[in-house]
Amino acid sequence: MDWCHYRLHSRWDLPAPPGTVFAVLERAEEYPRWWPQVREVTPAPGRTRDGQPAGTARFRSFLPYALVVTATRLRSDPAAGVLEVAMSGDLDGWARWTLAPGGLGTLARYEQEVEVRRPSMRRLAVPGRPFFLLNHAWMMRCGRRGLTALLRRGTQPGAGRTV
């Protein structure tokens, strides 16, 4: 087993239609307004060589470290309900949101496959793994709560736009 490799999954039931949820999730620079552990998202100027937008994000949950990644959009397909990014930096890999109608609104599936590159986390890979997984689970729970609250208020982050 590669102790530095993670495949993570989350499922969020959200109280808004998929198009509304997609519109919020595709604005990563506004995540810090509703997701407490996403401390900062800075869009990169311009675009990558293949024309995709990119940016840097800094995350911190209850463990005493922050992770910094550069995310590059791989796919943004509102009709299919798919948002996907490649990540490099403290974590290398990818993350994907897949949205579908469900329950009273949207079923959002989050998948992430990454290799930890941060040296301190690699050194603590075996004893730290349970704590890293708990840290991620807490972060995802807080993100779901923040997004649910935002959607229930009926406003999107930013200029007071109504959902």
Q: Write the DSSP assignment of 94-147 as a string of letters.
A: EEEEEEEEETTEEEEEEEEEEEE--HHHHHTHHHHHHHHHHHHHHHHHHHHHHH
Total number of domains in the chain: 1
Residue pLDDT, tens place only, 28-66: 999 999 999 999 999 988 665 566 678 999 999 989 999
CA 2, CA 65: separation in Å to the nearest integer?
Answer: 22
Domain contains 9 = yes
Give dist(CA 108, CA 31) in Å, integer. Answer: 16
Q: What pTM, to 2 d.p., does this model score?
A: 0.89
**Residue 161 counted as domain residue:** no
pLDDT in tens, 116-141: 999 999 999 999 999 999 999 999 99
For residue 57, the enclosing domain spans 5-153
Q: Is residue 160 assigned to a domain?
A: no
> To which H or E segment does residue 68 belong?
strand 67-77
The string of DSSP letters for 8-61 reads EEEEEEESS-HHHHHHHHT-GGGGGGT-TTEEEEEEPSS--TTS--EEEEEE--
List the CATH number of the domain containing 132. 3.30.530.20
**The pLDDT value given to residue 54:** 85
Q: According to the model, what pLDDT value does residue 157 have? A: 53
CA 20, CA 77: separation in Å to the nearest integer?
A: 13
For residue 158, is it within any domain? Answer: no
Domain presence at residue 131:
yes
